Each structure stands twice: as structure tokens, then as C-alpha cells.
Amino acid sequence: MKFNVEKDSLYSGLALPQKVTEGTSSINPILEHVLIHADSNGTVTISATDTSTSVISSFNAEVESEGSVTVNGKTLFKLVSTLSGNEVSLEKKDNQLHLKCRRSEFELNTARDDDFPEISFPDDSTFKSFEPVVMSELIDKTLYSVSTDDTKPHLMGVFFVCSDKIARCVSTDGHRLSLCEYAYDGDFSVPQGIILPKKGAAEIKQLADSGLQTMELSYIPEKKILGARMGGTTLTVKIVDSKYPPYEAVIPKYDSNQMVIPRESFLQAVKRISVLSEQKNESGVIFSVSSDRLEMFGTDTLKGKSHEEMEIGYQGEDITIAFNLKFMEQTLSRIDGSEFSIFLGGPKAAALLKPVDNTSFLGVLMPLRITDS
């Protein structure tokens, strides 16, 4: 195998496949590798899999001799990213991949092509159109609240459902919930909903962010995989084979005790309080809410105390409630607009967070228990 290719094409072709190989060495060392195949028609494909997520990307090159090579994906990607020339030559000789670029030459050890696992992808006819910007937003606004508890696999992913031109993603870890919903243009639908594993969802987002305007999705129920295709790259993700819990039941439906808060000044106040607790993910902030005023208190036994006060729009009962600082910051970072609302049901009830000027996102936070100090 030997081919010459522009550095940017090789770099782009490796970007997603090498990402899939991350964290696979403990599963099977061959999964750290990518399979590169060059054919006589001038097409080069790069494949990778971690057994749950698989990807194949293709680009054009000047192929002098066809063939395949299996090489460590991360190593090759890092090497290509450092090259200073515009044209790269790759040639397989015996058990090594020889790479040349201007005056630089490298020899990379390879693995046996026969050891690379077989990968299958959905038929072209099964792909339907979807908007990449919508997919990116849906995942970005929900991925952060996916559970990491491997005893609850049904919560270790993003629930994705779309029908009647409305797409929705939901995630929860039992302490918080996020929901994002957008209208979309396209023919793809999955009305029953599927659970995308966290890593697979993140890689679908990376593909959606590639800069192209068109995306296609394919769901194959019998194989339990979701395929995503953009340009010369096709990605498949094995869905979590479980039923998602009835999340609608835990979303509060409050119509009173609503705070309207300037987002940026509030976020900065929360960040200042978190300085005293920057090493403790479980640290909390106490809210004391009264008519048109919000006070926030933070305490750290080693670093000290913090107090913030701000004017807000609020009409309701006086409430004192505590929340996890990290969870609050993460939820706020997904809210667009200059103002947002927090609805409270009481000191021991979940809080509902929403943007003021749109309905595309909502977050639910369970309160922390306040103990006397």
C-alpha cells in the first residue's frame, strides 16, 4: 500500500476514528488501532471501533498501490498534527508504516490486518435527513447530566426521541435532569425513543460539529444501532438496550414561587462562591429567597464563608433551599438568554430552571439537605 495525500485531508480523516479508539486498550489492544485502506480508484478509508461505536471516514488521495495497514490511531493522529508540510506520503513496508513529509520521515509499527474486527454499517437506503445543528444542540444541553452509575445502565445515556418534526433529548442521574427540544427539518424519526450511550453521543456531536450543512441518520432496530453520516464519514452507535424511565413524572409543574434572575450576574456570583469549595464536587450553596431579593451563602470549614445578595423578580413565599454548586453551574451554562427563571416548590422539593425567552431547554435540580451547623 502506498498513497500521497494532502495533510489536511489525512488529519480530518483521522480526527473522528482516533477519537473512537480512546480508552480501548483495557478492552483489547487492537481497538487502539485504525484500519487504513487505499483502493485503486483513489479512495482512502479509515475505520475504527470500540465495539460499541464504529466509524469509517473516506477521502481522495493519489494511490500508487492499493492495500491496507493497521496502525495505532492516536499515535498517527498526533504525528500528522505536528507535520509542517502540505503533502504526506504513506507506504506499508513489511510490518511498518513509513510516513514522509518534506524532510521528516517516520516508521510506525503495525498490527495484523486480520486481527482488526469486522465492522458493518447501515445500508445507504436507510439513511434519512436531519439537521446537524439541532443534533449538536440537543446533545450539548443534555450530555452533562448523564449518570455515571454503572448499576443503572438505563441512565448512562441520553434518551433521544423525534417525531412530527420535533426532536428531544433527555438525561438524568437521579439528582438532576435536563431536557432539550427543537423543531427540525428532515425525514428521520424515532418516535419510540432510543438511549444513546454517553461516549457515542459525544462522538455524534463531534460529527455534527464538522461544519457541513447536511446530516443523515439511520436507526436499525434489529441491530440496535443508530447510524449518522456526514460527507465522507459514517458513524454507528450501539444504543443502550434498556427502557428509559418515565422522566415526565419528575418534572415539576409549578406556576408560583418564580424567580426571574439576570443570568450572567447570577452565574458569576455562583462561581465566586464556588472558589471556596473548588476541590469539593458535593459542595452546596444555600438560597434564601424573599420578596425581590435573593441571598446566597456558602461555607467551607477550611477556607471560610461567602455571601452574595442580589435583587431579583420574585413574588411568593419565603423559602430557604440548598443546591449542589457544580450541578447549578452546569445547568446554568446550558441556558441561553440574558434572564432565566427558577421555580420553587418548597425547601425540600425539586427546582425547575428555564430560560425566560424560549422553551427549548429546562433543567431540574434536586435540593440538598440543610443541616444545622
For the stretch 42-85, pLDDT in tens is 999 999 999 999 999 999 999 999 999 999 999 999 999 999 99
**What does the pLDDT read at residue 125?**
96
2-115 under CATH 3.10.150.10, yes or no: yes
Choosing among 3.10.150.10, 3.30.2270.10, 3.30.470.20, 3.20.20.70, the CATH entry for 251-365 is 3.10.150.10
Q: Which of 253-257, 270-274, 348-352 has the highest mean pLDDT?
A: 348-352
* Tens-place pLDDT, residues 11-28: 999 999 999 998 877 779
Percent of the residues in the chain that have a pLDDT greater than 70, as a whole number = 98
- Res 281: pLDDT: 60
Residue 280: pLDDT band with limits 50, 70, 90: low
Q: Does domain 124-248 have CATH number 3.10.150.10?
A: yes
Q: What pLDDT, on a 0 to 100 scale, did the predictor assign at position 303?
A: 83
Measure the CA–CA gap between 306 and 274, rounded to whole angstroms: 9
pLDDT surpasses 90 at 260: yes
Kindly tell me if the per-residue pLDDT of 190 is higher than 60. yes
Mean pLDDT throughout 93-120? 95
The answer to whether the CB of 32 falls within 8 A of the CB of 74 is: yes
Q: For residue 61, report the phi and psi dihedrals to the nearest 5 degrees.
A: -150, 170
**Confidence label for 211 from pLDDT (cuts 50, 70 and 90):** confident
Predicted pLDDT of residue 234: 97
**C-alpha span between 49 and 33 (Å, rounded):** 9
Rounded to the nearest integer, the mean pLDDT of the chain is 93
| pLDDT the model gives residue 315 | 83
Residues 346-357, mean pLDDT to the nearest whole number: 94
Predicted confidence band of residue 372 (pLDDT cuts 50, 70, 90): low
Domain ranges in the chain are 2-115, 124-248, 251-365
pLDDT (average), residues 305-317: 91
